[in-house]
Amino acid sequence: MQRLINKVVEVFNAQFGKEQLVVSAPGRINIIGEHTDYNLGYVFPAAIGEAIYFALGPSNNPTKCTCHSIDENESFSFDLNDIEAIPSPTWKNYILGVVAELQNTGKTIQGFNLAFSGNIPVGSGMSSSAALECGLCFGLNELYNLGLSRKEMALISQAAEHNYAGVKCGIMDQFSSLMGKKDQAFILDCRNLELTYVKVDLQNYSLVLCNSNVSHSLVTSAYNERRQQCEDGVAQVKTKYPNVQSLRDINMDMLNELQPILNDTVYKRCKFIVEENQRVLDMGKAFENRDLEDIGRLLNEAHYGLRYEFEITCEQTDFLADQFVDNKFTPGARQMGGGFGGCIIAVVETEKLNDVIKEVSSAYAMKYKEATFLPIEISNGCHLVNN
């Protein structure tokens, strides 16, 4: 981590001079609760040790901003008075979106210089995009004393992703990057944005991520299609239950009653979300009770739903999940993130973790490619770094 921070500071100093502040913006895991956030349900995320690090400071021109991505080895400049989204998918749109949405709130910022780099695997489902948005928003809030709350910064960052990156994401990723606390996950109610922290203490077990290294893109995947299918289901349920506003308001009795008027695909999508919401609440209780059997069961049920009902897994992540749960030292595992690639999150007996990783890694490499394994350290949300 320190080496990465030093690199970011050195690049910034070489390009822009030494006047800077340094921000850490973490990625996240989501223990359970996929695609429930934009359906105004519940999620159970936590910030992690992997992060994007930013060095930023004021520019000499009050309206000119220059940003350098160290990992992409690419720079671009723009004027605060002339911000437009770039038509093709690019990291630049996240930057432009945050600045534009800050201005839309009536906040005044001036030109700035920025250099950043991170160790969150892109396309892995650990929300590198949200870390980019939230870290910049947090940094500008500090640099120009904007007085924004963390909740306000999360909503600004979400709007940036909607309006400039083209992904109609829920609020979970941004809340995770800004609200995380060390050694704690939290249940977030995505309707009223209330959150409840839950201590993560698995005793003799550990959380581990396994990156399939099948990279996904939420813009080009079926993410927005799944969201539309959920909205279609809500619209049809409202014909019988007009007070329903989202899948959060629907239970399985209502859904089954209306199954004849829903097409099979929409029914499956809605069924997954309704049951996943309940799994999140049950998982919170399982963590409070340190009930490893229940934690594993809920992870396995979630993967089944992702695979056969929401249909956003892929051959490689299904294979990895099966490899984990077939191992007697792993109570449960599931695909994590938006889908169509990315990571598996698993609970593994700590003493046997290296053995399990070796077995899963070998099997996956023989059939597909190398997987990457990452033990999880649950960390604090966005914060300033002393450099």
Burial of 293: CB neighbours in 10 Å, binned 0-12, 13-18, 19+: exposed
Phi, psi at 48, each rounded to 5°: -125, 175
What is the separation, in whole angstroms, between the first and last Cα of the chain?
Answer: 11
Alpha-carbon gap, residue 232 to 343, rounded angstroms: 29
Centre a 10 Å sphere on the Cβ of residue 142 and count the other Cβ atoms it contains: 16
**DSSP label of 248:** G
Mapping DSSP onto H, E and C, the string for 2-18 reads HHHHHHHHHHHHHHHCC
Q: Of 221, 174, 176, whose CA–CA distance to 341 is shortest?
A: 221
Active-site choice (37, 79, 82, 173): 173
Alpha-carbon gap, residue 159 to 317, rounded angstroms: 30
With the C-alpha atoms ordered 225, 231, 233, 239, is the resulting torsion angle positive or negative? Answer: negative
Strands (E), 89-173: 112-118
**Cβ-contact 36, 280 below 8 angstroms:** yes
**Does the annotation count 173 as an active-site position?**
yes
Catalytically active residues are 173
